[in-house]
Structure 1
Amino acid sequence: MDAEAEARHGMTMIKACLNGNRRPGDHPALPVTPLELAEAAREAREAGADAVHMHPRDATGRESLSAVHIGAAVRTVRQACPGFPVGVSTGLWITGGDVEARREAVQGWAELEPRDRPDFASVNLAEEGFSDLWQDLRRLGVGVEAGVWSVDDADALAATGLECLRVLVEIIGGSADTSVSRAHAVLARLDHLGVPGPRLLHGEEAPAWILVDEAGQLGLATRIGLEDVLHSPVGDPVDGNAELVRLARARLT
């Protein structure tokens, strides 16, 4: 569990995932612009989130890793939420699968003042080029969250010998009925291999709430937000990220 979260809440850490790769219009409250991300982050923090994860966008609403768009989003969120840990994605799809374009974009963050760089960035072990990207982020002073989607990803992470800020056990796709067993398989493999770092467990869509509950049972950090799910645990529509965080916090208390 995240030590800062324990100090603030004495309970499970919740990271708010504000928008992901959803398209503008997928939800009325989906934040896209820096100001919208900042307001969503402020509301999520007030609702009980301990950190925020976001996918900054360009002027057209498309995800971007450009220093211009990363810096603008991080700066605006920090102004609204001083001291709130801010993270971003480095998903390879953002550069259309182009490994070198992704690396060049992230290396461009060196142009940003340190205060305008994210505190951490997620790096998916299933994606080509993750090791070089990891080293680039560390040189920039940006913490790495290792995105582990499978047992194979756990093996890949162990093989690197690299340490990370947090291991994201992300159960993506598949049946909700098997989400818990798949999560336990990944967690067990990480433990067997002695991979260091706190774990954060979460899922998307149907498994999202199942895995929030499972994280609570296991004493692990978790995350929730419009990136992962658009409805409450009983299937009702939600107003936005803050409501999702409040619902998750209530289930974990």
Structure 2
Amino acid sequence: MTMIKACLNGSRKAGEHPALPLTPLELAEAAREAREAGAAAVHMHPRDEAGSESLSAVHIGAAVRAVRRACPGLPVGVSTGLWISGGDVEARREAVRGWAALPARDRPDFASVNLSEPGFSDLWHDLRRLGVGVEAGVWSVDDADALASTGLECVRVLVEIIGGSADTAVSRAHAVLGRLDELSVPGPRLLHGEEGPAWILVDEAGQLGLAARIGLEDVLHSPVGDPVDGNADLVRLALARRV
């Protein structure tokens, strides 16, 4: 069976879901529960003391350390979304380069880098020098072209269908996947969407034999619209649809 990665919190604000994990201890518990439910990896957005997303070594290290203690051996990833640094490319790069002060065990296994954001190539090289793998965030056919033009290798290609109508999610996904194949871009694919298209693309990933992702970052309800208890509940529901 292909992997399901649990995306634990994303950019969501406190109060959007009762089980939304924000602190290192909450992220560790959510990761442990997601792993027990069948998740093969986790992705998270660590927070500062005020609850805002952070790329600071202090906050990245605290979150990764807590998850590793709770879930030894579980691959752990983080976001490098440019919005986290307020759109400042150099501030983002400086923050990520600051991870060099962390022991290797407190650095994430991988970090997602969005090809639609300026400065992605420099950030990619910085992460690799830190021993952190890169997940390439590909949101469009143009992003697929950008990735192919770099010649850079990644842990996996995240085909992320963000926004737009649920009715067109599958066709948009196939356009991106087809372009990646046409350009012979290396690396395993992971397909996912957010909100309305989330469950549609979990199913499509299963049909295509691709890895998928699910969690409170992407959706707050079950495939039939019912409330869910948290990340582990979403992972169990996703895996049940792959049997």
TM-score (norm 1): 0.96
| 1:193-214, Cα deviation, whole Å (9 max, x unpaired) | 0000000000000000000000
Q: Write the mapping of 1:106-117 to structure 2, written as runs, cut at 5 A.
A: 106-117=96-107
Identity fraction in percent: 87
Segments ≥4 residues shifted beyond 4 Å: none
Q: Does 1:68 align with 2:65?
A: no
Write the letter of the residue equivalent to 1:215. Answer: A
Tell me the equivalent position of 2:182: 192
1:202-238 Cα deviation digits (max 9, x unpaired)? 0000000000000000000000000000000000010
Query: Post-superposition shift, 1:252?
Result: 1.0
SS in 2 for 1:64: coil
Hey, what's the Cα distance between the residues in 2 that align with 1:249 and 1:38?
Answer: 21
Structure 1 residues 128-160: Cα deviation after superposition (integer angstroms, max 9, x where no partner): 000000000000000000000000000000000
Any residues of structure 2 matched to 1:175-186 within 5 Å, and which?
Answer: 175-186=165-176
Separation in 1, partners of 2:161, 2:39: 21
Q: 1:154 aligns with which of 141, 144, 162?
A: 144
- 1:89 counterpart residue number: 79
1:91-170 correspondence runs (5 A): 91-170=81-160
1:232 alignment partner in structure 2 = 222
Q: Structure 1 residue 106: deviation in Å?
A: 0.1
In 1, the alpha carbon distance for the partners of 2:164 and 2:232 equals 27
CA contact (8 A) 1:89 1:121 kept: yes
Tell me how far 1:41 sits from its aligned partner. 0.1
Aligned-pair distance for 1:84? 0.2
Among 8, 22, 28, the residue aligned to 1:32: 22
Deviations 1:170-213 (A, max 9, x none): 00000000000000000000000000000000000000000000
2:201 to 181, 191, 211: 211
Counterparts of 2:14 and 2:143, CA distance in 1 = 31
Assess if the C-alpha contact under 8 Å between 1:32 and 1:61 holds in 2: yes
| Contact 1:13–1:221, Cα closer than 8 Å, also in 2 | yes
CA distance in 2, matches of 1:58, 1:252: 36
RMSD: 0.3
- CA apart distance, 1:169: 0.1
Q: Does the CA-based 8 Å contact 1:12-1:252 persist in structure 2?
A: no
Kept after mapping to 2: 8 A contact 1:43/1:242:
yes
Number of residues of Structure 1 aligned to a counterpart in Structure 2: 243
Residue in 2 that maps onto 1:4: none
- Which residue is equivalent to 1:5? none
Q: Tell me, yes or no, if the aligned pair for 1:145 and 1:166 is still in contact at 8 Å.
A: yes
1:95 partner amino acid:
S
Task: Please give the alpha-carbon distance, in whole angstroms, between the structure 1 residues aligned to 2:16 and 2:81.
Answer: 19
**Structure 2 counterpart of 1:218, one-letter code:** L
Gaps of 5+ in 2: none
Q: 1:202 corresponds to which residue?
A: 192
1:241 aligns with 2:231: yes
* TM-score, with length taken from structure 2: 1.00
Unpaired runs of 5+ residues, structure 1, are 1-10
Provide the residue aligned with 1:43 in structure 2: 33
Instruction: Indicate which of 79, 82, 91 corresponds to 2:69.
Output: 79
